[in-house]
Amino acid sequence: MVKNMIIGQSGGPTAVINSSLAGAIEYGLQSEKIGTIYGMVHGIEGLLEDNVMSLSAIFRNLPYELNRLKHSPAMFLGSCRYKLSGSEEEYKKVFERFEQYGIGYFIYIGGNDSMDTVKKLSDYAEKTGSDIRIVGIPKTIDNDLVGIDHSPGFGSAAKYIAACVREVAYDTSIYSIKSVHIIEAMGRDAGWLAASSVLARQDDMPAPHLVYLPEVPFSVGRFVNDVKEKLSEYNSVIVVVSEGIRDGDGNYISAAEDKGDDQFGHARLSGTGAYLKTVVEKEIGCKVRALEPSVLQRSAGHIVSLCDVSEAFNLGSVAVRAAEEGKSGVFSTLRRTSNKPYCVEYGTEDVSVVANREKTVPVDWITPEGNDVTQEMVTYLKPLIRGTTQTPFRGGLPDYIDIRHLDIKMQKYSDE
Amino acid sequence: MVKNMIIGQSGGPTAVINSSLAGAIEYGLQSEKIGTIYGMVHGIEGLLEDNVMSLSAIFRNLPYELNRLKHSPAMFLGSCRYKLSGSEEEYKKVFERFEQYGIGYFIYIGGNDSMDTVKKLSDYAEKTGSDIRIVGIPKTIDNDLVGIDHSPGFGSAAKYIAACVREVAYDTSIYSIKSVHIIEAMGRDAGWLAASSVLARQDDMPAPHLVYLPEVPFSVGRFVNDVKEKLSEYNSVIVVVSEGIRDGDGNYISAAEDKGDDQFGHARLSGTGAYLKTVVEKEIGCKVRALEPSVLQRSAGHIVSLCDVSEAFNLGSVAVRAAEEGKSGVFSTLRRTSNKPYCVEYGTEDVSVVANREKTVPVDWITPEGNDVTQEMVTYLKPLIRGTTQTPFRGGLPDYIDIRHLDIKMQKYSDE
């Protein structure tokens, strides 16, 4: 029996969430069990507000647009940070929408908070005897999802950070004066992104000279000594820090902390690098700059990893196939079966494995000094940034797809 | 009569200074009048310290390396910020080095400060009857050189800034909450780079919504009103500011000013965006982020403009040809002869035109409200960011050339 599918995106952006969306749409368009493919605009929140559009109508006859979607960063459908309250009333409203649109398959792309939504909805479906299949597709630049070898979105952000370090290293190497550059990578509790900066060390390039992750306590005093030591050997020292580094008592090393807009109660950090800049100025006194690539590291669609784009696309297809095969309460995942050559195997995993949990860097992948990572980490990271994609350019700039340029009437966007 | 050539780089980095170096080397290697091509390591300062290497030895038989050089950012030979004192003793020392290396051609790649060096040396040569030909090759991301339609290095930085704005716009568009992003572009006195952000407005993309240049006085009160007005129309407002914006009295709108390491007495600014972030927080109270791409905008070799790389390369060749033809005290330049199709004509210009002067944005290319640029500016900018290059990648990262990986003994670098 043919049923319709609805798909949404949630949480923070990455460069390849739309690749997963493209993979899911492509599989869905070819499936004989799936009718219309709908998109929730602004995730589950959009669904509740009946902000729904037909993706089949756009992409059925436009393979070029589907390819653009695959290579466009951020979220075509818009996002939300809405946490289901768990109230019967709200569940009923969601499932009424499902009935309204003839939905048999619900697909949700997001991080561990979004997998919580997948878990709640699939539990409710099971409890109420609904046969709607509810499946997640993982994403996060932080690489902190459990139940998967590495998260889609991470490889591209890792590539961006490593490329930044290389380019800053080239930029700073031109003078013979002493200088320190501190690059702040995203990662509240997991240091994977900061760690990936070490991939910049191709050939004899020593940058980054120091790398600090949130998994081990950070000491400002030891940091000053580390920098001094590296300055005695190198003119230009490049330091990479996770935004979430903390001292021995668990206090963030950060100029400012802001509990602004995150409904899940996560602190938004910024200024870790800026704070350490003032420390270097005061304690060492050489030229120092703090760089915070900020949102650029998660949305730089022009320098994504081909490995990442392909895997994100495949995880999209795998999730829809799993739903079609009757699975529910699972997310699509991948397992690394070999490093040389790099191979992965796709499958699904129960969503309770991933929801509301975080995978941090194993402490034995961090050097005893706490200022670098081990060879195991390098071996793990290396394949994930490989390959360049054919991002379409027009007029000299990346030619990303934008929901607002497609001729569709939509409540939310037409308000803008 | 065959004479040797020496070439150096000076000032701040751009993504295409090495393209000019590659163009000069390629022309020099083929010239019958030019013998060995030497490089000054760390510019004129390196020459004084006898820090000189043979470029012919490296590149004569390695066309692939010359191509890598063409696509590598920053400065292969290292830089300096050394201003000639003008003392007879120093000139003598420089010309003794010329004699030591059998130099007939001196080529210097740099901005207006470096053109001052070209002017001084060529004046001295003329005064003393030396037949050494002294020629400059222009570069700067700021586009503030006079005597040239646009500066090599500018197009690639412009492309980077415009791509950033596009990617930040995609990143921020996913939520329906109100937000402001402030991107700070380089440009102390000239707003060309901030202006180039408007190229992001392909299709219907409205970002950047507001653009402020240093050429017109900046009013914090008017800025707050501008942002409020845009927020009433758009959820996500993207503002681009030049680092050098000033109020009506000429005071920098900047959190911090640092007269650190610049021997030419220029203030190093930073924190203009950070300061305006605090203004928006206080006066408007919505979510706000400040982004400072900092050195990344001048060294992002992975997203350069093909137009810029080609022109930089050609300006390198043109300068050496001019020297070979007996010209001195000039720099290579280009003149736009047509916009559709985009065409330029190469030539030379007297260096006194460019030295120690700055080309700022014409005030009538800025809208009367002072928060945007006119169509004339867009027409001027558009061709300069066009075309993508085949930057070589290896292991997922740009594979830039590095003087330290080539097996050459050099005083300065072997110290590191």
The predicted pLDDT at position A357 comes to: 83
* Helix or strand (DSSP H, E) at A234: none
The candidate with the shortest Cα–Cα distance to A327, out of A347, A312, A345, A310, is A347
Residue B257 has pLDDT above 70, yes or no: no
Query: In which residue are the tokens 């860097």 written?
Result: A361
Residue-level pLDDT at A231: 98
DSSP bridge partners of B138: B110
3-state secondary structure of B258: strand
Q: What is the pTM of this model?
A: 0.93
Q: How far apart are CA B277 and CA B194, in angstroms?
A: 17
Q: Which residues of B touch A80 (CB under 8 A)?
A: 175
Pairing assessment for the beta strands A103-110 and A3-9 based on DSSP bridges? parallel
pLDDT for residue A170: 95
Residues A218/A225, Cβ–Cβ less than 8 Å: no
- Residue B202 — very low, low, confident or very high, per pLDDT cuts 50/70/90? confident
Tens of pLDDT, residues B303-322: 999 999 999 999 999 999 99
In chain A the first and final C-alpha atoms are separated, in Å, by 39
User: Strands (DSSP E) along A255-402, which ranges?
Assistant: 256-258, 268-270, 287-291, 330-339, 342-350, 393-394, 397-398
Mean per-residue pLDDT, A368-391 = 96
Type of residue numbered A134: I
- B396–A162 CB contact, under 8 Å: yes
Q: Above 60 in pLDDT, residue B24?
A: yes
Choosing among B80, B139, B173, which should be mutated to test the A contact, i.e. which has the most A CBs within 10 A? B173
How many C-beta neighbours within 10 Å does residue A408 have?
16
Task: Give the integer Cα–Cα distance in Å for A14 and A110.
Answer: 10
**Of A113, A116, A142, A226, which residue is the catalytic one?**
A142
Residues of chain B with pLDDT > 70, as a percent, come to 93
Q: What is the ipTM of this complex?
A: 0.91
For B198-225, letters b (16+ CB in 10 Å) and e give bbbbbeebbbbbbbbbbbbebeeeebbe
Would you say residue A127 has pLDDT above 90? yes
Contact (Cβ atoms closer than 8 angstroms) between residue A194 and residue A218? no
CB-nearest partner of B287 from A13, A260, A382: A260
> Is pLDDT at A305 greater than 80 in this prediction?
yes
* Catalytic residue IDs of B: 142
Q: How many residues does chain A have?
A: 416
Average pLDDT in the A187-208 region?
94
Average pLDDT, chain A: 92
* Confidence category of residue A391, pLDDT binned at 50, 70, 90: confident
What b/e string do you get for A213-240 counting C-beta neighbours within 10 Å, with b at 16 or more?
bbbbebbeeebbebbeebbeebbbbbbb
Q: Distance (Å) from the C-alpha of residue B326 to the closest C-alpha of chain A?
A: 31
Q: Which helix (H) or strand (E) holds B103?
A: strand B103-110
Min Cα–Cα distance to chain B from A164, Å: 7
State the pLDDT at residue B391. 85
Tell me how close the Cα of A347 comes to any Cα of chain B, in angstroms: 26
Instruction: Give me the residue from A80, A289, A298 closest to B171, CB to CB.
Output: A298
Nearest to A84 by CA among A136, A131, A121: A121
CB contact under 8 A, B294 and A291: yes
* Contact flag A163-B398 (C-beta cutoff 8 Å): yes
Which residues from A are below 8 Å from B413, CB to CB? none
CB A358 within 8 A of CB A112: yes
Please name which of B119, B157, B186, B135 lies closest in space to residue B27, comparing C-alpha atoms.
B135
Counting one residue from chain A and one from chain B, the pairs whose CB atoms sit within 8 A come to 193
Residue B43 backbone zone (phi > 0: left; psi -120 to 50: alpha; other: beta): left
Q: Sign of the CA dihedral A110, A112, A115, A120? A: negative
Question: Residue A202: which of B199, B385, B395 has the nearest Cβ?
Answer: B395
pLDDT tens per residue, range B76-103:
999 998 999 999 999 999 999 999 999 9
pLDDT at B260 over 60: no
Nearest CA in chain B to A230: B416
Helix (H) or strand (E) holding A266: none
Residue type for A201, please?
R
